[in-house]
Amino acid sequence: MTPAPGPAGLAEAKPARTPGPAAMIAVEDLVTLVRTYNPNSDADLIRRAYAYGRRMHEGQIRHSGEPYFTHPVAVAAILTEMRLDDATIVTALLHDCIEDTKSTWTEIAAEFGPEIAELVDGVTKLTNLQLSSSEAKQAENFRKLLIAMSRDLRVILVKLSDRLHNMRTIKSLRPDKQIRKARETMDIYAPLAGRMGMQWMREELEDLAFRVLNPEARNSIIRRFLTLQREAGDVVQRISTDIKLELEREGIGAEVHGRAKKPYSVWRKMQQKELSFSRLSDIYGFRVICGTEGECYRILGAIHQRWRAVPGRFKDYISQPKSNGYRSIHTTVSGRDGKRVEVQIRTREMHEVAEAGVAAHWAYRDGARVENRFAVDPARWIATLTERFEEGDHDEFLEHVKLEMYSDQVFCFTPKGEVVQLPKGATPIDFAYAIHTRIGHACVSARVDGLRVPLWTRLKNGQSVEIITAEGQRPQASWIDIAVTGRAKAAIRRSLREEDRDRFVKLGQELARVAFEHVGRKVTDKALTTAARQLGVKDRVELLARLGSAELTARRVVEVLYPELAARAGDEVDAARPVAGLPDGAAFSRAPCCQPVPGERIVGITYRGRGIVAHAIDCDVLAEFEEQPDRWVDLRWHEGRHPAAHAVRLEMTIANDAGVLGRICTLIGDQKANISDLVFKDRKPDYYRLIVEVELRDVEHLHTVMTALEAESDVAQIARHRDPARKP
């Protein structure tokens, strides 16, 4: 039995297939396609939309040279294969009108009603999203995509069909555009189609993208299939016949369809399992469609009696359906000649949902909406897809949305028998957070099927999981790499941030206490609240957190509240001996190559005739003394207020305009810093490059001066100037 063409690539009854891309379907043929599943369709509405779209796109040509309107008609035809309602078909005919023609939302609403106008507008907005752009932009566009989905999922159905037709006709684009579109299809649209339950569309999108991204690999797999068929004959026909005979013996009436798997599916399996084509076994798939759920399990028993089941390859999605409504039994058996084959068993109702996915909600049959009890409510499905998305960093959001699109599912049980759905590869940590965030935070280990297992254990279908908790346990940073679900990762990151904040607040409280005692004052909530208000910080807790994280110095807080006391306390540092660790009587100086200032880490080097010279710990000159450890001296700056007597060279590029240099000098003076030297390095008609030597108190003073200069619009560049050639 040779598979007939169809969305799933299997031999199944379908409406008449649409013509190839070179021909445009006539309006009456499109009406006929719709009426094959919806005799009560509003043919006049479709005819008016067809005429309107054709008129709007008049004169527009595709890259292939065809009239542009062939594309909207082809998209509408694809949607008829899913048996969708009139509004969706009309939206397909008009989906490019607002973007590419003089048509407007108001005009479409007046002509075809607000529902269709909203759908067309939604597709237009999705078309304008650059989903393969920079990461931050991509995250924001993913959010917009999900918002559009939540309003009306039919917008996504039209967009997916639009992408499918564009991929079918992609050869007319430039090679670089083909690659960009193919990657976007592989990364976003194919997994989205799969997540929505439209596996046939996912497989075709993947295969079309695979043809662009790796044509050599695809052609190689096709050649091997042809060779295999020549050597072994029509394997699909023989195995299909075997299954039918076995079912007839059991008195079960069912349809059996078989096929070889798509080239990309084979390639992905080869890559994942690191196997050559000759070692792949389950490259054939078969589907058995029957009447009732009971027959599904009878068929499973008959197949397992006739052929040996492959351990670990059984999934029962009838008793545990996927969130998009998918129901089926999957099993893999060793068939004829020892070849492994995958068999899917489902009822006709289940098959309709498996083919259409979430789109089954809108499907028509015989002029009425199909009342399929397995079709999932789109609003509920969107909720399950988005419930675990947290507002946060863009990389976290992308991580969650892509995981949700790609994930297959495993079903595990709590000790009470409740089912927990998790992505494939999930761990006990994911299970714990799926139950409750509190359980996740307190998790210390787990029992799987009664056995104690590490937290990094990958869970499998049907396992019973018991989470062991402990009071006082907190999430560990390593859990982020162990967890798989977006919900668990987000909760762990949030807890770690809060824990860091608590630690910083405690540290800040201690720093504030010491600083206040240094000036003879006691730290109080009122004092901290006043300081927070004067420093523009939200509240005293935030002030303490910034103190603990070194974003703010305790001395700055004291200066804001008690400037006179802070100044008196800082006068204790002697400018002649500002460092601790000097031997008695030793001369001291700062290295001219790096010019360290109080607040920076320093090390002393002894020089004959010069005493001890302090270098910044990251000074390049220190490399010369690595083999002379006896010359190194451990130094540190004295605590307290240092005088503004430490020269630092700053290299600046400023605009060559009247008054700019004067403003720069005034700005430095406003920061209580003195200019001790100024040298012009380069003069151009539009800019100056100069080195300014400024006398400063400490590293905080340096940062204050540099920040003020960076904010000046006439300062193009500013950096600290260090010169290794100016050795002591």
Contact 162, 201 (CB under 8 A): no
Within 10 Å of residue 397's Cβ, how many Cβ atoms?
Answer: 22
The letter for the amino acid at 246 is E
Closest among 622, 644, 641 to 631, alpha carbons compared: 622
Cα separations in angstroms, 628 against 81, 295, 333, 580, 616: 82, 86, 73, 22, 17
Where residue 56 falls (left for φ over 0; alpha for ψ -120 to 50; beta otherwise) is: alpha
Q: Can you tell me the distance from the alpha carbon of 103 to that of 96, in angstroms, rounded to the nearest whole number?
A: 9
Active-site residues, by number, are 99-100
Contact 649, 690 (CB under 8 A): no
Is 433 exposed, middle or buried, given 0-12, 13-18 or 19+ CB atoms closer than 10 A? Answer: buried
> Could you tell me the maximum CA-CA distance found in the chain, to the nearest angstrom?
108
Q: Can you tell me the distance from the alpha carbon of 677 to that of 594, in angstroms, rounded to the nearest whole number?
A: 16
Pairing of strands 636-637, 419-423: unpaired
375 DSSP assignment: P
Length of the chain (residues): 728
Q: Can you tell me the distance from the alpha carbon of 79 to that of 95, in angstroms, rounded to the nearest whole number?
A: 13
Tokens of 421: 């759905």
Q: Can you tell me the distance from the alpha carbon of 183 to that of 194, in angstroms, rounded to the nearest whole number?
A: 16
β-bridge partners, 694: 648, 675
Q: Can you tell me the distance from the alpha carbon of 39 to that of 366, in angstroms, rounded to the nearest whole number?
A: 6
Closest among 415, 410, 520, 512 to 465, alpha carbons compared: 415
Residue tagged 């006179």 (tokens) = 564
Alpha helices by DSSP H, listed for 129-262, are: 135-151, 154-168, 175-184, 190-195, 199-213, 215-232, 235-249
Q: How many helices (H) and strands (E) are present in the chain, helices listed first?
A: 29, 23
- Report phi then psi at 358, rounded to 5: -65, -25
The letter for the amino acid at 164 is L
Residue 611's H or E segment, with its range, is strand 611-616
Q: Can you tell me the distance from the alpha carbon of 112 to that of 556, in angstroms, rounded to the nearest whole number?
A: 67
66 DSSP assignment: S
Contact 95, 87 (CB under 8 A): no
Pairing of strands 284-290, 340-347: parallel
